[in-house]
Amino acid sequence: MALDSKIPQGHISEKWTNHKNNLKLVAPNNRPKIDVIVVGTGLAGASAAASLGEMGYNVKAFCFQDSPRRAHSIAAQGGINAAKNYQNDGDSTYRLFYDTIKGGDYRAREANVHRLAEVSSNIIDQCVAQGVPFARDYGGLLDNRSFGGTQVQRTFYAAGQTGQQLLLGAYSALSRQIGLGNVKMYNRHEMLDIVKVDGKARGIIARNLITGELERHSAHAVIIASGGYGNVYFLSTNAMGSNVTASWKVHKKGAHFANPCFVQIHPTCIPVHGTNQAKLTLMSESLRNSGRIWVPAKKEDAEAIRAGKLKPTQIAEEDRDYFLERKYPAFGNLVPRDVASRAAKDVCDAGHGIEANDTNEGVYLDFASEIITKGKQAAFTQGDHNPSDAKIQELGKKWVESKYGNLFTMYEKITDENPYETPMKIYPAVHYTMGGVWVDYNLMSSIPGCFVAGEANFSDHGANRLGASALMQGLADGYFVLPYTVSNYLADEIRTGKISTDTPEFVEAENAVRQSIEQLINNKGTKSVDYFHKKLGLIMWNKVGMARNEKGLTEAIEEIGQLREDFYADVRVPGAANELNQELEKALRVADFIELGQLMAKDALLRKESCGGHFREEYQDAEGETLRDDENFAYVAAWEYNGSDASKSVLHKEELKYEFIKIAARNYK
Amino acid sequence: MSAKKNININLKIWRQKNASTKGKMETYKLDNVSTDSSFLEMLDQLNEQLINNQQEPVAFDHDCREGICGMCSLYINGRAHGPDTGTTTCQLHMRKFKDGETIFIEPWRSKAFPVVKDLMVDRSAFDRIQQAGGFVSVNTSGRTIDANATPIRKEDADKAFMAAACIGCGACVATCKNGSAMLFVGAKVSQYALLPQGKVEATERVLNMVRQMDEEGFGNCTNTGACEVECPKGISLENIARMNREYLKASVL
């Protein structure tokens, strides 16, 4: 099947407006006759469900958590971008568009990204109207800060809990629609397959996680907003339950999966502590506004620190290597995430890592300079023009606390160290997946009637996402894109009538799900699900991680294939199918992660270039920066499913055309 | 990082097959727990041991494991979210426990939060309270006024944020001798009461949310203050006072 991205004609700044004017509508009296299913209640899912419910469609929303308010968008810390230019520092829709395309290393779709930049302003207006308590300055207006890959201050925030506040905003809009009866909410339900009738998405099979019952739900359109697949690495900053299953089931039923190898490894996470660790914790990128990243310039100092003989505060200024400021003076500590992560890996590989764990991997994020700068400023504002060092420290720490207090507390809880007194230790960790289900400009997948939004789709971030852009995309998709494009699709469904769940397609899909569950329960192997998940994670991190090469990727494809066989031969899932069974939930998810992992390795192997988060050691310039190959790889790799052995998947290419931005080498120096 | 050492512990855990079965405390022994592990990583380790011994693992709610989603719960040694203050169970670390210690783990205990299985409870009552009025009735068109058109005093915005920081975990209810949800409801009412956007519907909001709270079977506040102490996000009792004022205002007008 040929890929048609359905990008509208016309100038980039008019495409979305013209497109909206030409989309078909569904009259208010017809909307209640139409059912829409939304899977996932993060920013994209909750905002889509709320908006469609408010329009009058009959919406059913599903989440595996005990409440829609728990979706993992809640954990986003730093902020949300919008081209408001409130700070008068030269921002504009075009600049946000340009920064996002450049940040994505020229592997995102121009038209989608421009639309995102266009609606960014409305998101902030909408959220403020909903009562989202963003940070404000003393004049009562909204405050902003900087994020990586930009030279303006366009990030809106609510302390280090921006995702929480935005999600609770979307959740309040969703709750309102649930209360009005426009949305029916299914908590503790997991989608285990999509049902197609005559080629169109017509419903889902969901498992009630409390009773174990399989349920059939029909609809005229299905929206997948189930998040990203970072947990394929086992250790990541994702929530424990975050999974690829909804996306993968859609992929298995005919939706192409795009750019699976584009994974974001976030530079500032708390380093791994031991083998029983289940998850990694992010320290927000916003900290790079105030923190300086360094390692000891001398290897012997790094060794002494790891041995516990030296403290970081004892290393003299001239013996520190502020490697981001040294390598990228124009952006300094605020280079994009992929660039910062690789630089941290390079200095650790060279023996300068400071963490005393198995891999010696860790660098410092130091707030000492900022505490002094802000402490002085605060003293001056109080009229003290000759403050003592003690007063500077006191006031500076107070300032840091007001900006990042919750992050500093979290850091101390986890590591038992006080980051006001000693620099934080950080290291890159898997955080976000740019790849996902392929969608056209309308966010519809290659299955008619199946839309995909938020992190679950692939469309806006290319090979690397800029900080504070995930929240923007989730809400843009749900509030401002899907209501238009889904209606356009549903305009042809007003005569369809209620869709029966008694058709052979539903029966067959339910039986297939039941069979896969019984297979796992009856397997009675010897190893737990986590055993296999951890094994998969290690293969992925070592061979499909921050730096990749042909040999490693070829091995990974082989090893994951073997792991899939071992999993089905020897996994042990205790308990029964018809009850609450968390091991069964995990087993079903890991089965899909294994297939996905293999596809990621294959995608990475075929992309013989380096771009954004995808770094192939064979393709780098003399200074170790990514070397893109625009002639051969300026395309979206959209994979068609071809059996559980992902190495046999079929590649389709969507050429990326840059008509409005000149494609260039990405330079942050 | 604290000195690396492993501890051996005894666990007394509430086991209950489902909502309609009676539960009881079971005893387990777990060795070699790293003090750098989080409390939930310790439970992962226990479950791995149970699965390997052909026993059924313990069901417990958890998701983000960074203290923000509000999904984890647990009554640990008689305290909501365990012995540490200002923290969720997922952010509690084993360095807070001693070698050889016996740790009691129970689910939230409250009439309005029935047990689902083992340590998991049903907190959907909170969702229903929110559905009754925890929102601003504004359509999601994005066509409202510019976000900076209405300045809000920083102090009010900050207070609204501090109330909105509630993660809906239910520790306040679990720890309250009356099983009251007034800290949770007070925080939501306060967030909107402090912002100009929330003022239009203030009357209906507080009346509807309190009505739903009562229907769900939550008790009343008698000013003990345990909720504030155990709240992992430090939600202040002031919010209950503000809700009471809002309620009174709404009732007499």
Instruction: Provide the residue ranges of all domains of chain B, joining segments of one domain with +.
Output: 6-116, 123-252
Inter-residue contact A482 to A451 (CB < 8 Å): yes
Q: pLDDT value at position B2? A: 42
pLDDT per residue as tens digits for the range A381-404: 999 999 999 999 999 999 999 888
- Which of A41, A64, A72, A128 to mutate: most B Cβ within 10 Å? A128
Q: pLDDT value at position B4? A: 59
A66: nearest CB among B36, B71, B198? B71
pLDDT per residue as tens digits for the range A310-326: 999 999 999 999 999 99
Kindly determine whether residue A75 and residue B64, on different chains, have CB atoms separated by under 8 Å: yes
Share in percent of chain B as helix, strand, coil (round to 5): 40, 15, 45
Inter-residue contact A110 to A12 (CB < 8 Å): yes
Give every residue of chain A whose pLDDT is below 50, as ranges: none
- Does A276 share its domain with A388? yes
Q: How far is CA A156 from the centre of its chain?
A: 18
Q: Print the SS3 string covering A76-101.
A: CCCCEECCCCCCCCCCCHHHHHHHHH
- Does A413 share its domain with A517? no
Asked if B16 reaches chain A (Cβ–Cβ under 8 Å), the answer is no
Nearest C-alpha of chain A: how many angstroms from B25?
19
> Has residue A277 been placed in a domain?
yes
Using a CB-CB distance cutoff of 8 angstroms, which residues of chain B are in contact with residue A241?
A: 63
Closest CA relative to residue A63, chosen from A251, A255, A280, A239: A239
> Has residue A6 been placed in a domain?
no
Residue type, A61: A
Q: pLDDT value at position A1? A: 57
A–B interface: beta-carbon pairs under 8 A: 226
Give every residue of chain B whose pLDDT is below 70, as ranges: 1-4
Using a CB-CB distance cutoff of 8 angstroms, which residues of chain A are in contact with residue B152?
A: 136, 140
Inter-residue contact A241 to A438 (CB < 8 Å): no
Inter-residue contact A506 to A204 (CB < 8 Å): no
**How many C-beta atoms lie closer than 10 Å to residue B218's C-beta?**
26
In which domain, by residue range, is A568 found? 509-631
Q: pLDDT value at position A469? A: 97
DSSP assignment of A165-177: HHHHHHHHHHHHH
Nearest C-alpha of chain A: how many angstroms from B178?
24
* Closest A-chain CA to B40: A278
CA B204 to CA A441: how far, in whole Å?
41
Residue that finishes a domain, picked among A382, A400, A429: A429
CATH of the domain at A580: 1.20.58.100
A410: nearest CB among B67, B132, B137? B67
CA B59 to CA B47: how far, in whole Å?
9
A580: nearest CB among B34, B117, B137? B117
Using a CB-CB distance cutoff of 8 angstroms, which residues of chain B are in contact with residue A575?
A: 56
Share in percent of chain A as helix, strand, coil (round to 5): 45, 15, 40
Using a CB-CB distance cutoff of 8 angstroms, which residues of chain B are in contact with residue A574?
A: 51, 54-57
Q: What are φ and ψ of residue A58, in 5° steps?
A: -90, 100
* Closest B-chain CA to A163: B68
H or E element at residue A54: helix A43-55
**Positive or negative: CA dihedral A56, A49, A261, A344:** positive
> Has residue A203 been placed in a domain?
no
Assign domain B6-116 one CATH number from 3.10.20.30, 3.40.1520.20, 3.40.50.2300, 3.40.50.150. Answer: 3.10.20.30
Q: Please tell us whether the domain made up of B123-252 is placed in CATH 1.10.1060.10.
A: yes
Distance between first and last Cα of chain B: 57
CA A543 to CA A258: how far, in whole Å?
20
> Has residue A655 been placed in a domain?
no
Kindly determine whether residue B191 and residue A119, on different chains, have CB atoms separated by under 8 Å: no
> Has residue A330 been placed in a domain?
yes
CATH of the domain at A348: 3.90.700.10
Kindly determine whether residue B135 and residue A210, on different chains, have CB atoms separated by under 8 Å: no
State how many domains chain A has. 2
> Has residue A101 been placed in a domain?
no
CA B231 to CA B236: how far, in whole Å?
9
Closest CA relative to residue A527, chosen from A486, A491, A475, A569: A569
Kindly determine whether residue B161 and residue A133, on different chains, have CB atoms separated by under 8 Å: yes
Asked if B91 reaches chain A (Cβ–Cβ under 8 Å), the answer is yes
Q: pLDDT value at position A237? A: 97
Residue that finishes a domain, picked among A380, A413, A429: A429
Contacts for A588 with CB less than 8 Å, ≥ 6 apart? A190, A192, A245, A516, A517, A520
Residue type, A594: I
**How many C-beta atoms lie closer than 10 Å to residue A479's C-beta?**
26
Closest CA relative to residue A534, chosen from A355, A277, A356: A277
CA A381 to CA A385: how far, in whole Å?
9
